[in-house]
Amino acid sequence: MNIAQANEALGIPGVLSIRGGAGGLPLIDVHNPFAIAQISAYAGQVLAYRPIDEPEDLLFVSRKALFERGKAIKGGIPICWPWFGDDPLGRGRSAHGFARNWPWRLLATEAMADGATRIQLGLHADDETLAIWPHPFSLTLEVTIGATLDLALISHNPGDQPLTLTQALHTYFKVGDAARTRVHGLDGHDYIDKAGGGVRGTQQGPVTIAGEVDRIYLGTDGTLQIDDPSLGRRIHIERGGSRSAVVWNPWTDKARAMSDFGNDEYRHMLCVETTNAADDRVELPGGSSYRLMTRYRIERT
């Protein structure tokens, strides 16, 4: 359906509307009693979430982000699926799968009884996806905009053969100064240091950022926190269906190497991702579903 039809069928007067965003990609605007948010219907990607009483957005989007069909949007909450990282089969397919640069469909919207807003988007197998990843699937993203930002990514295998997935809610958080942030909740957990050539280490104390950080933390399913003294807030990250987490900041050299990322923007973002990555794989039997969930809450400090 076109944008006018989408608004007629799925808009919520005074709360939710659909419009053409940057690059002509469809954008969902939400403004309810709790928060203001934006979601790219093209990529199934939350781009903004700001509680009404907060001065800063929860999320970071690069000023050089590309809004083009077939391109990933640098920032917000990209969906990495059905694999995380490089092509697991080494066939030259794009890193982090195809879901983050594929057109999704807006399936449903709902004004909740408490004033929150729920949006459901979907992505399904077709001839084009089967040419990249030869498996039937149904993927649903549920986003709830309220006093917290809640996401649930539901993978369904409608076929007879089992599927193996890795995946991520690759969240870019806005921070005042990455070098002053601390990520709590990973002390004592082993990690794979991708920036250090894949060697393994064990986290001691909170995670700090003093250079490039690209780590997959293993065997972790607890709540994480980002302490951001520059913005005077703490971000709480609750997770479900995940036993791994990724912390990423490109720092100077990687930032300069990315055409869709500003040279100085590494200072103002930090990715802390809810994942099934590395050894943490999802085995999805035929006819079954799997739910990966996260909840974000801002606390003023």
- Model pLDDT for residues 60-104, shown as the tens digit of each residue: 999 999 999 999 999 999 999 999 999 999 999 999 999 999 999
pLDDT tens-digit series, residues 233-259: 999 999 999 999 999 999 999 999 999
Question: Quick check: 261 pLDDT over 90?
Answer: yes
pLDDT tens-digit series, residues 9-24: 999 999 999 999 999 9
The C-alpha atoms of residue 132 and residue 93 are separated, in whole angstroms, by 7
Tell me, yes or no, if 283 is annotated catalytic: no
Mean pLDDT of 208-232: 98
Beta strand 190-193 with 213-218 is antiparallel
What local confidence, expressed as pLDDT, does residue 158 receive? 98
Which residues constitute the domain of residue 114? 3-300
Query: Which candidate in 142, 189, 265, 273 is catalytic?
Result: 273
CA dihedral 226, 230, 231, 235 (to 10 degrees): 0
What tokens were used for 272? 């802390």
Instruction: State the alpha helices, DSSP H only, in the chain.
Output: 3-10, 127-132, 251-257
Tell me, yes or no, if 170 is annotated catalytic: yes
Q: What is this structure's pTM?
A: 0.97
Q: Specify the DSSP element, H or E, that contains 40.
A: strand 35-40
The C-alpha atoms of residue 90 and residue 94 are separated, in whole angstroms, by 10
pLDDT tens-digit series, residues 264-276: 999 999 999 999 9
Question: Quick check: 1 pLDDT over 90?
Answer: no
pLDDT tens-digit series, residues 127-173: 999 999 999 999 999 999 999 999 999 999 999 999 999 999 999 99
Query: Which candidate in 135, 170, 189, 268 is catalytic?
Result: 170
Q: How would you class 184 by CB atoms within 10 Å of its CB: exposed for 0-12, middle for 13-18, buried for 19 or more?
A: middle
β-sheet with 26-31: strand ranges across:
16-20, 26-31, 35-40, 45-51
What tokens were used for 239? 């997770």
Domain count, the chain: 1
What tokens were used for 289? 């579903």
pLDDT tens-digit series, residues 168-201: 999 999 999 999 999 999 999 999 999 999 999 9
CATH at residue 191:
2.70.98.10
When the pLDDT of each residue in the chain is averaged and rounded to a whole number, the result is: 97
Q: How does DSSP classify residue 92?
A: -
Q: How many CB atoms lie within 10 A of CB 128?
A: 10
Task: Find out whether 246 and 271 touch, Cβ atoms under 8 Å.
Answer: yes
pLDDT tens-digit series, residues 33-68: 999 999 999 999 999 999 999 999 999 999 999 999
